Homo-oligomer: A and B are copies of this chain.
Amino acid sequence: MKKIQSVIDRIQPPEESGRLLAKRRLDRLTKPPGSLGRLESLAVWYVGATGKVPVPPLQKAIVVFAGDHGVTEEKVSAYPKAVTAQMVYNFLNGGAAINVLARQAGADVRVIDMGVDHDFGKRPGLVDRKIARGTRNMKFGYALSRRKALSAIAVGCELAEEEARRGTNLLGTGEMGIGNTTASSAITALLTGAPVGTVTGRGTGIDLPALRAKRAVIQEAIRVNRPNRHDPIDVLSKVGGFEIAGIVGLLLGAAAHRIPVVVDGFISTAAALIAVSLAPEVKEYLLSAHRSAEPGHRIALAKLGLRPLFDLEMRLGEGTGAALAMGWVESAVRILTEMATFDEAGVSGPEREK
């Protein structure tokens, strides 16, 4: 916890002066003031977070954390657990949706093995930070020990630090872990106070009986583990996962290094609930990409006070929503840096009343 606390202690609020400079420039550009709507707010958010004017070219990376879940024994997913490892190979080979969308956005994809139940050996492109071969089945006790949860958060913090050293100035979150909507629903129920029934959805696409079973498993896990809602690390350890803990750490570390982060879907937002509980100022560095089809996502976003940029009814995870939203952050930054002002272009401003 000492390592994590030192990261938390570094987090500062965004620079009001940067936000103001961005706003002033936006109003001098050749368009009616405010007419680019939320794209303008994005530019202000970005400059406020980094505090850097002029804005340097964007260097984007999406960090995809992978981990397995013991709770898959309870048939909470439509897919077998082996798919987590198989999809990691797919990420490394560039064939998954996140690879396609990240390429288009000009973002690097980092693939982090936080806790996959598979021995990958040495694989080019795979960052091996495995803490264990998956979590334990939360139905019968804690998913990961408090010590392991803290280690996993620390890994995320270190990865953010590495990104800062590399010059990354826009991060996106991603994840892969069969069973992780179960963990995220449990976290969301605990940290928002919403009933398990309303925050638990069909994940990869289970049928109604399986959905009922999934809800019952989460209820049981909460009954057995009695997580302390006022201790986000306790919640993470009792019903979370290694990839979720990694995202928590990435969010903390990114805020400490003033790197704005695009938060993907439901799992990433569950991690954001934990990170913001640990350090409320993290929120200012976060952008919610989209509202996913998972019912708990809306509730988690409301609790965080984050308004998603779009809703394409996506429910894939991996960071796919973040990749799309990163394109818009780039649009916003380019508007700020590339558009002509009224003076430069010789365009008349609004007519004043006489």
Q: When the two chains form the complex, which single residue of B39, B86, B100 contacts A347, counting CB atoms closer than 8 Å? A: B86
Shortest Cβ distance from residue A119 to the other chain B in the assembled complex, whole angstroms? 16
CB closest residue in chain B, given A206: B350
Residues of B contacting A101 in the complex (Cβ-Cβ under 8 angstroms): 331, 334-335
Contacts of A351 in B (CB 8 A): 78-80
User: Which of A253-307 touch B at CB < 8 Å?
Assistant: 293
A104 at the interface (CB under 8 A from B): yes
- A312 at the B interface (CB under 8 A): yes
Contact between A334 and B100, CB atoms less than 8 A apart: yes
| Interface residues contributed by chain A, number (CB under 8 Å) | 58
Which residues of the partner chain B approach A205 to less than 8 Å between Cβ atoms?
A: 32-35, 350
- In the complex, A350 Cα to B77 Cα: how many Å? 9
Interface-facing stretch out of A1-9, A148-156, A162-170, A322-330: A322-330
- How far does the alpha carbon of A116 sit from the alpha carbon of B79 in the complex, in Å? 60
* Number of identical monomers bound together in the oligomeric complex: 2
| A96–B30 CB distance below 8 A | yes
Q: Chain B residues with Cβ under 8 A from A310's Cβ?
A: 309-310
In the assembled complex, the CB of A154 is this many whole angstroms from the nearest CB of chain B, namely 31
Which residue of chain B has its CB nearest to the CB of A337?
A: B100
| Interface pair A95/B35, CB less than 8 Å apart | no
A97 and B314 in contact, given A86-B346, A348-B82 (Cβ under 8 angstroms): no
Closest Cβ of chain B to A6, distance in Å, is: 38
Minimum C-beta distance from A1 to chain B (A): 37
Decide: A90 and B320 in contact? CB cutoff 8 A: no
For A327, what are the chain B residues with a Cβ–Cβ distance below 8 Å? 104, 327
- 27 contacting pairs across A/B (C-beta < 8 A): A30-B90, A30-B97, A31-B316, A32-B205, A32-B316, A34-B205, A35-B316, A36-B320, A38-B312, A78-B350, A78-B351, A80-B351, A86-B346, A86-B347, A89-B345, A95-B338, A97-B335, A97-B339, A100-B335, A100-B339, A101-B331, A101-B334, A101-B335, A204-B350, A205-B350, A312-B328, A327-B327
Interface residues in A15-53 (C-beta closer than 8 Å to B): 29-39
Report yes or no: A350 in contact with B89, Cβ–Cβ below 8 A: no
Residues of the B chain whose Cβ atoms lie less than 8 Å from the Cβ of A79:
32, 348-351
Mark out the residues of chain A between 35 and 94 whose CB falls within 8 Å of any chain B CB in the assembled complex: 35-39, 78-80, 82-83, 86-87, 89-90, 93
